[in-house]
Chain A
Amino acid sequence: MDKPILEVKDLRVSYKRGKEVLNHVSFQVKEGQTVGLVGESGCGKSTLAKAILGMAPIQEGEVVHYSSMPQMVFQDPYSSLNPAKKIGWILEEPLKIQKKLNKEERREKMEQMIERVGLGTAFLERYPNMLSGGQRQRVAIALALMLDSKLIIADEAVSALDVTVQAQILDLFLKIQREMGVSFFFISHDLRVVYHLCHYVLVMKEGKIIEAGNVEQVYFTPREEYTKTLLKAAGIED
């Protein structure tokens, strides 16, 4: 439980024109832990996710992965699944790329995974546009799990869903963590969602992490004014 799975050390990222997007960001995600990242829009949350996955220009500092192939669950379940392919094809693709299993083993794994995220094997024969937003997000989670990744980054993964579906997907995240011991790095602007799901929380403002700690600690005894404002805005007080 205490072994780190991701370590971000003193990370600085800036795009062109010298504007610093991330400013000396450091934190750790441990095995089987969910770390939440909150902050208002434009504070650099998504850039941090990209930097972790090597998709943003890192100026200084480093990102150390202790697991192979971290995966991502995206915000918009309508663009994260290839509309031209059946769910079965989409789920099989990562296994084909990695050439790990033979045909029967792949099939077995796909069926196991689609059931694990609460959909039947019949879904393998459907196209993404035949699914609802919640079902698509379940498929996206199954896809992220296909390569047995131990770290999954979820960037606003439930923000596009309505509240009841949101709750179901959050329960799915919890169930998967229980069953598979996966770590999540969960980015959200919704403090209630983060409270429900995360063990540890980082508060980001203008590219800096201004407060970090266990969820109870940050939510019940916030040190920073900014954190208090965020909590207040989310309707969480004391």
Chain B
Amino acid sequence: MRKEKKRSFLLGASILIVLFCFVLSSFFYMPYDPNQMDNANKFAGVSFAHWMGCDNFGRDIYSRILQGTRTTFLVAFFTIIIGGGIGTAVGAITGYFGGWIDEILMRLNDAVAAFPNFLLALVVISLIGPGTFNVIMALGIVFIPGFARIARGEFLRCRNMDYVKSAKLMGAGPFRIIIFHIFPNTIPVLLSAVTIGFNNAVIAEAGMSFLGIGVQPPDASLGRMLSEAQAYLFSTPSYAFFPGMVVVLLVLGFSLLGNGLERKA
């Protein structure tokens, strides 16, 4: 069992490292401008010049995938920063203090969590409008409750530990205890929540862009590309295939990594 975890961690990590290098390489070398249209190369197939082919506007798919993966990474990363950051803070406060603070914050949390994730993101987007930044905001809000619940459980588990009592006897204040004494003990669990969250963020961003309410054209994102490719699925399968593969690899990588990081079982 343990060996399996290690293998899944290593496999997930290597997939992600390859993808990450792929994104990093785009900062030094991008074969074409991802938004450059070229009528002569509309629907060009796989070739040496365009080694993943071209799309309906003759834009180089490889360059657009680089650009799109960058956007997707960006959205997922900041979504986790916002959702994970606020969620963990809420969970820490409710879990550690308990009482009426816990009641109020967790009921609010339940109210947010009661909506299906995607629907809630749609509501937020319809309020603040589409766009990359707004997608980050919307997904960040959607991700708060999950993190809050996980963090709360961990803080609840730790707050009655003897080392916390001992810190109190030494005169440590609540915030010192939360940040320095309890938080480090919740990191393993939160880390696996982060990998799962990253995964969901990638899927959600792709989904929202696919529906046309996420990243706006002409900007590239993986979901955006899939959405544009669907009309040409049979005539130019390479258009949908490559961005689709990148989404699959990203999600697979994070799932494997998350599995490997999970402490229990």
- Chain A interface residues (CB < 8 Å from chain B): 53, 55, 69-72, 74, 76, 79-85, 90, 93-94, 97-98, 140, 143, 146-147
CB within 8 Å of A: which of B169-202? 169-172, 176, 180-181, 184-185, 187
24 contacts between A and B (CB under 8 A): A55-B165, A69-B169, A70-B169, A71-B166, A72-B165, A72-B166, A74-B162, A74-B166, A79-B161, A79-B162, A80-B162, A80-B163, A80-B166, A82-B163, A82-B181, A82-B184, A84-B187, A93-B167, A93-B170, A93-B172, A94-B171, A98-B171, A146-B170, A147-B170
Question: Judging by beta carbons under 8 Å apart, are A83 and B185 in contact?
Answer: yes
Contacts of B170 in A (CB 8 A): 69, 71, 93-94, 97-98, 146-147
Contacts of A79 in B (CB 8 A): 161-163
Contacts of A147 in B (CB 8 A): 170
Q: A84-B185, A93-B167, A97-B171 are in contact. List 9 more A-B contacts (CB 8 A).
A: A69-B171, A71-B170, A72-B169, A76-B162, A82-B163, A93-B180, A97-B170, A97-B176, A143-B166
Given contacts A74-B162, A97-B176, contact A82 B169 (CB under 8 A): no
> Shortest distance in angstroms between A52's beta carbon and chain B's nearest beta carbon?
11
- Of the candidates A53, A81, A146, which one forms a contact with B163 in the assembled complex, judged by CB atoms under 8 Å apart? A81
Chain B residue at smallest Cβ distance from A90: B163
> Shortest distance in angstroms between A217's beta carbon and chain B's nearest beta carbon?
33
Contacts of A97 in B (CB 8 A): 167, 170-172, 176
> Shortest distance in angstroms between B173's beta carbon and chain A's nearest beta carbon?
8
Residue in B161, B163, B165, B184 whose Cβ sees the most chain A Cβ within 10 Å = B163
Interface string of B154-168 (1 = CB under 8 A from A): 000000011101110
Chain A residue at smallest Cβ distance from B186: A84
A92 to B203 CA separation, bound complex (whole angstroms): 45
Question: Judging by beta carbons under 8 Å apart, are A71 and B169 in contact?
Answer: yes
Question: Judging by beta carbons under 8 Å apart, are A85 and B184 in contact?
Answer: yes
Contacts of A76 in B (CB 8 A): 162
Please, how many residues of chain B have a CB less than 8 angstroms from a CB on the other chain? Answer: 16
A69 to B172 CA separation, bound complex (whole angstroms): 12
- Of the candidates A55, A82, A93, A98, which one forms a contact with B185 in the assembled complex, judged by CB atoms under 8 Å apart? A82
Residue in A69, A74, A84, A147 whose Cβ sees the most chain B Cβ within 10 Å = A84
> Shortest distance in angstroms between A96's beta carbon and chain B's nearest beta carbon?
9
Given contacts A80-B162, A84-B187, contact A53 B181 (CB under 8 A): no
> Shortest distance in angstroms between B117's beta carbon and chain A's nearest beta carbon?
31
A84 to B154 CA separation, bound complex (whole angstroms): 14
A18 to B188 CA separation, bound complex (whole angstroms): 42
> Shortest distance in angstroms between B179's beta carbon and chain A's nearest beta carbon?
12
Chain B residue at smallest Cβ distance from A153: B169
> Shortest distance in angstroms between B88's beta carbon and chain A's nearest beta carbon?
16
Chain B residue at smallest Cβ distance from A144: B166
A29 to B161 CA separation, bound complex (whole angstroms): 27
> Shortest distance in angstroms between B157's beta carbon and chain A's nearest beta carbon?
11
Question: Judging by beta carbons under 8 Å apart, are A53 and B169 in contact?
Answer: yes
CB within 8 Å of A: which of B44-70? none
Contacts of B180 in A (CB 8 A): 93
Chain A residue at smallest Cβ distance from B183: A84
Question: Judging by beta carbons under 8 Å apart, are A84 and B184 in contact?
Answer: yes
> Shortest distance in angstroms between A70's beta carbon and chain B's nearest beta carbon?
8
Contacts of A72 in B (CB 8 A): 165-166, 169
Chain A residue at smallest Cβ distance from B170: A94
Chain B residue at smallest Cβ distance from A76: B162
Contacts of B167 in A (CB 8 A): 93, 97
> Shortest distance in angstroms between B263's beta carbon and chain A's nearest beta carbon?
12
> Shortest distance in angstroms between A128's beta carbon and chain B's nearest beta carbon?
9
A79 to B181 CA separation, bound complex (whole angstroms): 12
A147 to B172 CA separation, bound complex (whole angstroms): 13
A125 to B163 CA separation, bound complex (whole angstroms): 18
A148 to B170 CA separation, bound complex (whole angstroms): 11
> Shortest distance in angstroms between A141's beta carbon and chain B's nearest beta carbon?
12
A71 to B162 CA separation, bound complex (whole angstroms): 12
Contacts of B169 in A (CB 8 A): 53, 69-72
Contacts of B171 in A (CB 8 A): 69, 94, 97-98
A72 to B163 CA separation, bound complex (whole angstroms): 10
Interface string of B216-235 (1 = CB under 8 A from A): 00000000000000000000
Chain A residue at smallest Cβ distance from B180: A93
Chain B residue at smallest Cβ distance from A155: B162
A85 to B181 CA separation, bound complex (whole angstroms): 8
A112 to B180 CA separation, bound complex (whole angstroms): 24
Contacts of B181 in A (CB 8 A): 82
Contacts of B161 in A (CB 8 A): 79
